[in-house]
Copies of this chain bind each other. A is one copy, B any other.
Amino acid sequence: MENALVKTESEQSNRYMVPGLIRGLKILQAFSSEKPFLGVSDIARELDVSRSTAFRLSLTLENMGFLKRVKHSKKYCLGLKVLDLGFKLLAGMDIVDIARPHMEELSENTKVCSHLAVRDGISVVYIARILGKHHTVSSVGVGTRFPAYATSTGRILLANLSIAELATLYEGIELKKITKNTPLTIGDLINQIEQDKSDGYTLSWETYEKNLASLAVPIRDNTREIVASLNVSCPTTTYSRSELLEQVLPELMQKAASISTALGYRH
């Protein structure tokens, strides 16, 4: 009972959280392509709860269709119901439907891949992708997360925050050196974002991955806030830096403007 007081350890601060739900969701998150099958005991170890609790939680998730028993085994794997949630979210995002035709034209005209992304805390989450028909294809599928500070799309989205908000957001977060071009301090990041703002675009040349170029611009809605970022990405060999800026950027900005207009933004 002496550890009843030491509840602050790694748990969320709020005293209103319901443990059954936290744990249930953590179970779903515990599954991965490396660990696709977990038994009750595995789950109990993973979450540091008793086997009886793990048992009841798993049973609940199974009954709801979020977990499935694998045939002729007592182990569980993720159930197909987990797909529903994600696709319901995307279906509700009319920005995806609005943007897609423009993105298809963009990809058709530039021959490269295009992505639409939104910010979730310090992450960029990709919510739409059009594969270029004629060149190396993107491996960034819908649902992919990247650190915002290290990607062109991410920096565009961070530009919507004030310096104070940025500082709060990145308080205690370490910026990892991914390639030679990634910002290493919040100061660096803020400077880059200020530069982006005056340019109106972000060019990332091997910032997140060697040999990968990406050019991103903001999309705004009727509130005038930056709600998404539209980008094109390709190998650094497809277009040179100047070709990207001279040939691709105007096309990209025009499509972004069309999407913003469709979302109610008045220029």
Contact = CB atoms under 8 A, between A and B. Distances in A.
Interface in A57-88: 57, 59-61, 63-66, 77-88
A102 interface: no
Number of copies: 2
A118 B80 contact: yes
A187 interface: no
A142 B83 contact: yes
A10 interface: no
B80 A16 contact: no
Contact of A86 (B25, B55, B85): B85
Interface residues on A, range: 35 or more
Contacts of A145: 84
Given A12-B63, A25-B66, A120-B65, A82 B92 contact: no
Going nearest first, the 3 A-B pairs with the smallest beta carbon separation are A20-B20, A86-B86, A87-B143
22 contacts: A12-B63, A16-B55, A17-B56, A17-B60, A22-B60, A22-B64, A24-B25, A25-B61, A29-B85, A31-B88, A31-B89, A33-B91, A65-B121, A78-B85, A80-B118, A82-B86, A83-B86, A83-B125, A86-B87, A86-B143, A87-B141, A87-B142
